[in-house]
A and B are shown apart, each in its own frame.
Chain A
Amino acid sequence: MRVVRRNQTGYAFSDELSYSSLLDAARVASSVVENQSRTNPIDVTRRNPPQPFTLQNPEPLMLEYTKFDLLQRMDAAARGVDSRIVSVRIEYLDEVRDVLIGTSDGIYVLDRQYLASITCAPAAQAGGKRGSGFSSMGGRVDADYFARNSPEEAARQAARQAIRLLEAGPAPAGPMPVVVAPGWGGVLIHESLGHALEGDGIRRGTSLLTGLVGTRIASPLVRVVDDGRWPNGRGSCAVDDEGTPSQRTVAVEAGVLQSYFLDKQNAVLLGLRSTGNGRRMSYRNWPIPRMTNTYLDAGTSDPASLLNGIARGFYAAELGGGSVDTTSGNFNFAVREGYWIEDGRRTRPVRGAVLIGNSLETMKRIEGIGTDLVVEQSRGTCGKDGQMIPVGVGQPTVRFSSITVGGPSI
């Protein structure tokens, strides 16, 4: 139960769906606007929101014994890669979420949302060195997804990554040209630019991108899109958690800031309209502006050519998690699998690198974008204000003229 008056919000919920508990929640939520103007009752009719994509048979996604069988096959596949794989952790998750939203501005929608994922994390050990790998599958998918895609191959891929770490040397340190691989590498855009575009920081004036619509904030090659309707995306839904239909928002076009990511409350306070980015973890949380599936759009460069001319640089084949301070724009992310670039070629593997930078500086240093856009639909959980939600991120191969690599080799 959320009661909103301008910038003020009252929020309460009940785990118990009895009339008296709900009335209690309503009382607590409305205490913040006590003695203020009243909202009159209105008529609502339930709408069926248009779905962004159709799932043929998502429910039940799988029977229990099928899931166990799947996990065992993956475990065997990962261990089969190399005798140095000493343990494997595999997690399967599927959920069906029914959401009913009613608002005093006339929205009344019911939506059913499916989500499934498998993550596989093997650990390798040899001669006192250890390393872990990671791979994931899933998204908002049909039941036959795990039959059409090979879970064993995902497991083997994660195992090979763990083994490679055993042979990797220490990461370099300092600023250098960096090339980031497509797909999950889009977490870079999510952290460096995405969070600072969220409407709460803009409305409060604390985000470094406040008031910059119409201003060049990135290299002219850059188009950034947030698409709540990307097929099978982890961040996709028919409506956001305020009942606003999801949409495709172009946030940055040719390097110029076009739009923020907005929920209803912050949109109204800014004199704008919601972009369908009001999301929440569950009924226990109030909606705040969040990303859906956010990606740096495809460019025109041949991906292989993006390493050309780099005498000494860093190639991030796979990133880990990242975070950002939206006031300063300082961001960081871990590198799960990284390599040296020497004389235009990807060479030796390294371990223990992080990449850091400042949003505005880094976005201006994008000097090449590949044609090979991939939006990662199987992993990505974004945390903000204690609320964890599934998101998609994506990008093609991207080259930066300089990013600070934080490794131990000085």
Chain B
Amino acid sequence: MPRQPAVELAERIRIQAERSGAQEAETYLETSTTTEARLRQGQVELLQQSAIQGLGLRVFRDRRMGFVYTTDLRETVLNELVNRTLALTSQATPRDENKIAEFLAVSQSDLEIRDDAVARLRPEDLVRFARAAEESAFAQDKRIQTTKDVRSGTAVQEVYFSNTYIPRQTYRATTVWLSATPVATQGSQRREGTFIDRKRFLADLARPEQIGQRAVERALAKLGAATVPSARVPVVFSAEAAGVFLQGLFGAFSALNVLEQRSFLAGKLGQKIASQNVTIIDDGTMRRGLASRYFDGEGVQTHRTVAVAGGILQQYFHSGATARRMNAPPTGNGVRSYDTLPAIGPTNFYIDYGSSTHKLVDEVVRGLYVTGLAGFGVDTVSGEYSQQVEGQWIEKGQLTKPVEGVTVAGRLDEMLLGIDGVGRDLDFRSNVASPTIRFRELAVAGGA
């Protein structure tokens, strides 16, 4: 879709909603083009291209909200959309927070979220990246005979935003990714390993050979894995595992969950909730950040929000509505697509790098090094934590044998307070990331 008409369309529909009776209105128009190639055993198994466009309209009347979205942008459809959205407000319950979020001027600095080199990549380029990654995987070790697949893709996203107070805002962003999932075979045992890199700029993406190699290391490391007896021991989460752990924690920092007593962090502002070496940040303004953007789904300027500083809980994350309810400054965490209402979500969410320059496993006499987490056992309401993990057993600072068939469990509040080491290996291959972290002691449940 051409750029100019889209931004005009967003503004025109918003004005039409206001003229039809909305006291405030907001349009969020999004277009995105995604291309992905999947390769396996040297053959292209899938080449897909998707071109998405859609518009979401929110209207407010007497503190009642209506929301409708469409992917059909024809004139007649959009006229009907405006009427339908307004009609919905008459059914809705009035609430004080139903109002367009207060707008803060968009910062002028360039966030570097758009790389024309990514936008210019053609399917054959993606196939070439994937092929190089897969060939590198096969070249590493003769126990790699097959791959689940190797994927390479790009996305180009454009957002056109308009509300009663901001006539026009737009941004354009690019993402490029490459992943490999080789399968290692030894006897009758098969284990897969995945390594993925994802970046805004093509020049920042790891080389395909590196991706193939890292993925193979992961698959091979799992061969021969077995359970270990249950024990309470120090547990080190690799940077990637710690990132997954942090992702699961986000809900506890959501102001909406706090307001509804659905967070174990409710009522803890200003209190020590983690050990002193833990600082947790959400930064929508990080240069080249995978979730950086100039404004959130409600037109609010993105921020760098320090949620936890030196273990002290400083702030929750807000949408416009929760900021109003809690009389707090908005944090630009109203995350959405055209087909959803803004909901509190992470931008670039991370545990800041710490002071441990050496490997955190070195000091562990007997414990578990966790490289992968799986499952749904993270309850940010009750604060209970238990997940299936895989990794390596640690004896006297050395990784000694691969481990699977175990869980690690604890209470989230005690776990955060018990983090006794934070590494310096923070690396953003996802919008949620962490350096390696070490828990003083967790319950490892395994075989008899």
Interface residues of A (CB under 8 A from B): 7-17, 21, 25, 28-29, 31-32, 64-65, 68, 86-87, 89, 123, 125, 129-132, 165, 171, 173-175, 204-206, 208, 284, 286, 320-323, 325, 327-328, 330, 332-334, 351-354, 356-358, 404-410
Contact = CB atoms under 8 A, between A and B. Distances in A.
B387 A130 contact: no
B45 A7 contact: yes
Most buried by B among A10, A327, A357, A407: A327
Interface stretch (B289-297, B370-378, B431-439): B370-378
Interface stretch (B204-212, B234-242, B401-409, B417-425): B401-409
Contacts of A171: 386, 409
Given A132-B382, A351-B382, A406 B47 contact: no
A68 B192 CA distance: 48
Given A173-B443, A351-B384, A408-B409, A132 B262 contact: yes
A357 B405 CA distance: 6
Contacts of B148: 204, 206, 327
Q: Which 6 A-B pairs have the closest CB atoms?
A: A406-B407, A352-B384, A173-B445, A332-B388, A87-B260, A321-B376
Contact of B191 (A64, A284, A328): A328
A9 B375 contact: no
B376 A333 contact: yes
Contacts of B386: 171, 334, 352-354, 406-408
Interface stretch (B49-57, B302-310, B326-334): B49-57
Nearest to B192: A327
Given A9-B45, A16-B73, A130-B381, 17 more contacts: A9-B46, A12-B50, A16-B71, A87-B261, A130-B261, A173-B443, A204-B40, A286-B46, A286-B48, A330-B374, A330-B388, A351-B384, A352-B382, A404-B407, A404-B446, A406-B408, A410-B232
Given A9-B45, A31-B47, A32-B47, A16 B53 contact: yes
B190 A13 contact: no
14 contacts: A173-B443, A174-B445, A174-B448, A206-B183, A284-B52, A327-B190, A332-B374, A332-B377, A352-B385, A356-B406, A404-B446, A406-B408, A407-B443, A408-B384
A129 B382 CA distance: 7
Contact of A409 (B50, B405, B443): B443
A322 B375 CA distance: 6
Interface string B197-234: 00000000000000000000000001000010011100
B261 to A, nearest CB: 4
Given A15-B71, A352-B386, A353-B386, A404 B47 contact: no
Chain B at the A interface: SS class: strand
B91 interface: yes
B362 interface: no
Contacts of A8: 43-46
B365 interface: no
Interface string B83-118: 000001001010000000000000000000000000
Nearest to B91: A64
B383 interface: yes
A16 B70 CA distance: 11
A97 to B, nearest CB: 14
Interface string B352-395: 00000000000000000000001111010111111110100000
A406 B190 contact: no
Nearest to A205: B146
B47 A352 contact: no
A87 B405 CA distance: 37
A15 B33 CA distance: 11
Contacts of A65: 91
A375 B230 CA distance: 35
Nearest to A210: B190
A370 B44 CA distance: 47
A332 B405 CA distance: 9
Contacts of A325: 192, 374
B336 interface: no
A11 B48 contact: yes
A345 to B, nearest CB: 24
A123 B410 CA distance: 21
Contacts of A174: 230, 445-448
A112 B170 CA distance: 38
B75 to A, nearest CB: 13
A130 B261 CA distance: 8
A334 B375 contact: yes
Most buried by A among B52, B54, B262: B262
A205 B304 CA distance: 46
A15 B72 contact: yes
Contacts of B262: 87, 123, 130, 132
Contact of B146 (A175, A206, A284, A333): A206
Contact of A354 (B190, B377, B446): B377
A163 B375 CA distance: 24
Contacts of B51: 12-15, 21, 25
Nearest to B222: A328
Contacts of A29: 49
B260 A89 contact: yes
A238 B387 CA distance: 38
B264 interface: yes
A350 B446 CA distance: 19
Interface string B41-81: 00111111111111000000000000000011100000000
A354 B231 contact: no
B383 A130 contact: yes
A14 B49 CA distance: 10
B49 A410 contact: no
Nearest to B409: A408
Nearest to A350: B384
B411 interface: yes
Nearest to A329: B190
Most buried by B among A17, A64, A407: A407
Contacts of B406: 356, 404, 406
A7 B43 CA distance: 9
B54 A15 contact: yes
A125 B379 CA distance: 14
A86 B222 CA distance: 45
A292 to B, nearest CB: 22
Nearest to B387: A354
B123 interface: yes
Nearest to B53: A15
